[in-house]
Structures are given as C-alpha cells and as structure tokens.
Amino acid sequence: MHRRTLLVVLLAAALLVPPAADAQKPIRVGMPMPLSGPPALFGEPATKGAMMFVEEINARGGVLGRKLELITRDSKADANEAVRQARELILKDNVDFLVGTLTSAEGPAVSVVAKENKIVFIAPIPKTDQLTAPDKLHPYVFRVASTTTIEGRSAAEIVAKWPVKRVATMSFDYAYGQDVTKAFVEHLKKIKPSVEIVDQQWPKLGEQDYNPFINAQMAKKPEAVFSSIWGGFFVTYSKQARAVGMFDALKYHFIGVGEAATPETAKSMGADYPVGIWGNSYDAFYWGETQAHRSYVARLSRYLKDEYPSSWAIQGYIGMQFLAEAIKKAESTDSDKVAKALLGLTVETPVGPLTIREKDHQANRGQLYGKTVMDPKYPFAIMKPVTYVDPTKFMD
C-alpha cells in the first residue's frame, strides 16, 4: 500500500513539473508500417533505416536544436488499420509529421488522414500512381518511393534493347501488378513498336503454384518475360519456373521488377537463384558507387549487425532525411511551412541527389537494375554491372 501511495505522489509530482521549454521538446514523427505478417519483410528493415537516421541526427544535435523522436506502429499492411494508427498517432501521440506505409492500399488511405489533419505525410514505399494522381494530390502528401510508371518504364527501356519481339508478362492481379505491367507494355510499345505482347498471365496475389501459368505462357512461345511477382513470391515463382526450364528457354531474357534482384532474395535462394536474369532493387550493399553510399552501407551494417544489410532500410532512411531537411529549410515544424519547403527540395541521399517535384510531389526515385551473375566474393547472385536508372527523362 505504501509503495502505491509513493507512486501516486511521484506521478503527481511529475505532472506538476512545468513542461520544458518548447525548443527542448522532441519533434515527433509517427510511422505506421507493417511490422507483422509477410509484408514485415520490407516494413521492418524500412523502419530500422528510419531509426538509424534518427539516431544519427540526434547524435549530431537534432534538427533546429530539437531531437527527433520516431514513434512506430504496426499497420498490419491493412488500409483500415493504417488509418486508425495514423489517427491515433496524430490525436493521442501528438505527432508533428507522418512518414510511413508500405502497400498501395495503405498509402492513399493515410494520405486522406494527412489531408484532414493538415499534417505532412511522406510515403517511402507505396508505388501506386494514384497516391499522387492529380485528383488525389493535396498540399501535405509527398512520396520518396518509386512509382509504377517509373518502374514499368525503366524495365521497358531495358527490354527494348534485347533482340526480342515476342514478349509476355506475369503479374499479380491487383493494383500494383496491373499498373506496373500497363506502364511497361505501353512504354515498350512506344519506344519499340515492333514488339508484340503474346501473352499476359494474372495469378492471384499470393499464388503458390505457378506451374499452370508458366505452362500456359510458354505454350505461346515468348522470347522474353516481364514479371512483377515480388518478395517471397518471386522465390516460389522462379523456383518453379527454373524446374521446368523456363529461363533456359527464354535464354535468360527475363526481367523481374518488384525488387526481384535484392540481395535479400538472392541470399535466401543461394545457388537456386536463376542467375542470368535481370532484376531491380532499391539498394544493394555492394553497389558502392559513391563515398556517401559506402559510408551508409557500413553504418547500416553495424546498426543491423548484418554483413549484407537489407536493401529496404534505405527507403525509411530517405523518408526521414527529406523530412529533416525540409524542417531545416522551413526553420519551423509547422506542417504548412514544411510542406512548402518540400516542394522542389533536393537532398543528398546515400543513393545520390533526389528532388521532390513541385508538380506532383514525387521524388525522382529510380532503382538499381542489372543482370545477375554469381560473384566469388558472395555466396549468392548479385547484379553486375549494377546501374542506377534515373527516371527523370521518362517521368510524365
């Protein structure tokens, strides 16, 4: 009983202490991100990337003399849950900004919350074009992720250089799969009209048995295949495709977007990876193009205690970096001022300078592309040579 009384007194005392001056209060950033279920595969490292950035900037004294504080919430990759968490972060945790969401369903849903509450929201991963489409755009939403248009067109630029005419596609039957495939097909037909799309397969999201789709597709004798089967699903798809000799039949004229060539995927498949195909990734620890990138990878490797750190951390990192730079530029944490500061803002990120366009609040975030090869330095396939495809020239 005594102890409880003491606790109550202490609590009361703590409440009575006058709040510290405003400048000492941390700047709070809410991050709804899938931290459970299969999408946690990307949500977790992205959150870690953001946490590392916050730790680093706070060690240097924070922003405007105030520390950053990151509050993460599990959005469960569900639009309703993400909205609920975003509201709670704003109302209960009094966050000043939102950075987060992963799926193309969560992003636009949280964007509406940001609009209602007039709070800056930076989306680091959702790719759907709808997030920043003219009818959905509002002053507070920004994206540092790639888009389905950028990704589809980047792949089309690569496939156009192959000596192939008969092209087929394999994508999940939902927003991301449809949008990125459409962008790919339209751009490819525009830059290389001689190409013919001979087959399009649409397995359901999360399909486990691709054999019927692969058989039906190969019966149409394509010379090249574009796939947007992502994450762990790519592992399943490519294992089954490899077993029936699909990659050999295509002479490795295969490009997997949806980050099919991340070090994580290659690592988990080891010698089973269909070495020789083309793929993309947001980041690759072996890229090492610039001193800034090498330093980032070394820090991340230490932070995650992983020799081959995740390629997804970069998106959380860049999202927070844009926010911090915008606060500095605005010299304020007022969302209206920060939103204005974000327009046209260029930030030196670990993957090079990125700019958020004024027109649609979209960063010119391209991705790394390359043909995969086995490298004796690693026990898994890497992209080599790995090229950063700058999307600026083919963004609308």
Partner 1 sequence: MFLFLIAAGLSLIFGVLRVLNFAHGTFYMLGAYATYQLVQWMGVSGGRFWLTALGGALVVAALGGLIERFLFRRLYGKDELYQLLFTYALALILSDAAKMLWGTQQKSVSRPPELTGALHVFGAIIPHYNLFIILLGPAIALAFWVVLQRTRVGRYIRAAALDRETLGALGVNVDALYTWVFVLASFLGGLGGALISPMRATTPGMDTEVIVEAFVVVVIGGLGSFWGTFLGALIYGQVLSFGILFFPRFSIFAVFALMAAVLIVRPWGLLGRPLR
The residue ranges that bind partner 1 (CB under 8 A) are: 36-38, 40-41, 44, 173, 200-202, 204, 206, 208-209, 211-213, 215-216, 231-236, 239-240, 243-245, 264-265, 268-272
- Residue among 186, 187, 213 at smallest CA distance from 200: 213
Q: How far is the CB of 200 from partner 1 (least distance, A)?
A: 8
Q: Report, in Å, the least distance between residue 349 CB and partner 1.
A: 25
| Least distance (Å) between residue 227 CB and partner 1 | 15
Cβ proximity to partner 1: between 113 and 300 the closer is: 300
Q: CA 283 to CA 263: how far, in whole Å?
A: 9
Least separation in angstroms between CB 215 and partner 1: 7
Q: Minimum Å distance from CB 282 to partner 1?
A: 16
Least distance CB 240 / partner 1 (angstroms): 6
Distance, in Å, from the CA atom of 244 to the CA atom of 100, rounded to the nearest integer, reads 40
Residue 58 vs 200, nearer CB to partner 1? 200
Nearer to partner 1, 165 or 204 (CB): 204
* Residue 8 or 216 having the CB closest to partner 1: 216
Closer to partner 1 by Cβ: residue 202 or 378: 202
Q: Which is nearer to partner 1, 32 or 108 (CB)?
A: 32
Q: How far is the CB of 352 from partner 1 (least distance, A)?
A: 27
7 or 243: CB nearest partner 1: 243
Q: Which is nearer to partner 1, 209 or 375 (CB)?
A: 209
The nearest distance, CB 18 to partner 1, in angstroms, is 43
Which of residues 252 and 388 has its CB atom nearest to partner 1 in the complex? 252
Q: Pick the closer one to partner 1 by CB: 200 or 301.
A: 200
Long-range contacts of range 209-217, CB-CB < 8 Å, 24 or more positions apart? 209/240, 210/170, 210/236, 210/237, 210/240, 210/241, 211/240, 211/244, 213/170, 214/240, 214/241, 214/244, 214/246, 215/244, 217/168, 217/170
Q: How far is the CB of 100 from partner 1 (least distance, A)?
A: 17
Q: How many CB atoms lie within 10 A of CB 266?
A: 26
Q: How far is the CB of 251 from partner 1 (least distance, A)?
A: 16
